[in-house]
Amino acid sequence: MTQYKKTELVLNKVFDAKLSRHLIEGSTVVLHCHHYATLYTQLAIDCALLDAKSLLAECSEEVWEGFLSNYYKTNGIASLADRITIGEQVYAAAGLGKMCVICAGTDSGEVVLEHSHVDEGWIKKWGKSDKPVNLIGAGFIAALFAAVFGKPQRSFSVIEVQSIVSGAACSRFSVVAR
């Protein structure tokens, strides 16, 4: 049996004490808690003036697509399997939960979240919801597929079809090319 070495995520993490800033891979990052993430998610869901739910997901996509694409390029991560593995590890390292890409093709795929920082935080703060709330995760997934396949942002639509916040054991997302 052939053994394959699993690609491991290695992040360059620095704390700039003078500026009180955390940098990961040269990008300034803000460490957050589920309370904060659920609050701005609730604001997006409640906003009636514009489609803030899409804006939050798109913001997440923009940030993560740039980060992932840069990481793949800088570290020579070229294979589909390695890019997916690194993406799953970045999701966990960011404290967003545990992700598993169970099917990925150039025009569609499926992603399972065994744990979700946003969903689990939402339940602790407000209880269960009959509608999906993980806009940040949906944006990350769109970014992951774009970065993995070298496509531009907004190339994939992501729909949460099953949610931890609604009582399911895991969240499931369907991904299709636009």
Indicate whether 17 belongs to any domain. Answer: no
pLDDT at site 31: 66
Of the listed ranges 23-27, 29-33, 130-134, the least confidently predicted one is 29-33
Share of the chain above pLDDT 70, in %: 96
Indicate whether 136 belongs to any domain. Answer: yes
Residue 104, token pair as written in the block: 């990925």
**Nearest-5° Cα angle at 52, 47 to 54:** 145
pLDDT at site 162: 97
Length of the chain: 178
pTM of the model: 0.91
Across the range 11-30, mean pLDDT stands at 84
Q: Classify residue 78 as left (phi > 0), alpha (psi -120 to 50) or beta.
A: alpha
Q: What is the pLDDT of residues 44-86, one digit of tens each?
A: 999 989 999 999 999 999 999 999 999 999 999 999 999 999 9
Q: Which amino acid is at 21?
A: R
- CATH number of residue 42's parent domain: 3.30.1380.20
Give the Cβ contact number of residue 125 at 10 Å: 13
Cα end-to-end span (Å), the chain: 39
Mean pLDDT of all residues in the chain?
Answer: 91
33 vs 80 pLDDT, higher one: 80
> How many domains in the chain?
1
CA distances from 178 to 38, 117, 118, 152, 153 (A): 28, 27, 26, 11, 11
Contact between 90 and 71 (Cβ < 8 Å): yes
pLDDT at site 3: 44
* CA diameter of the chain: 58
Indicate whether 16 belongs to any domain. Answer: no
List the domain range (segments joined by +) for residue 105: 34-177
Across the range 122-130, mean pLDDT stands at 95
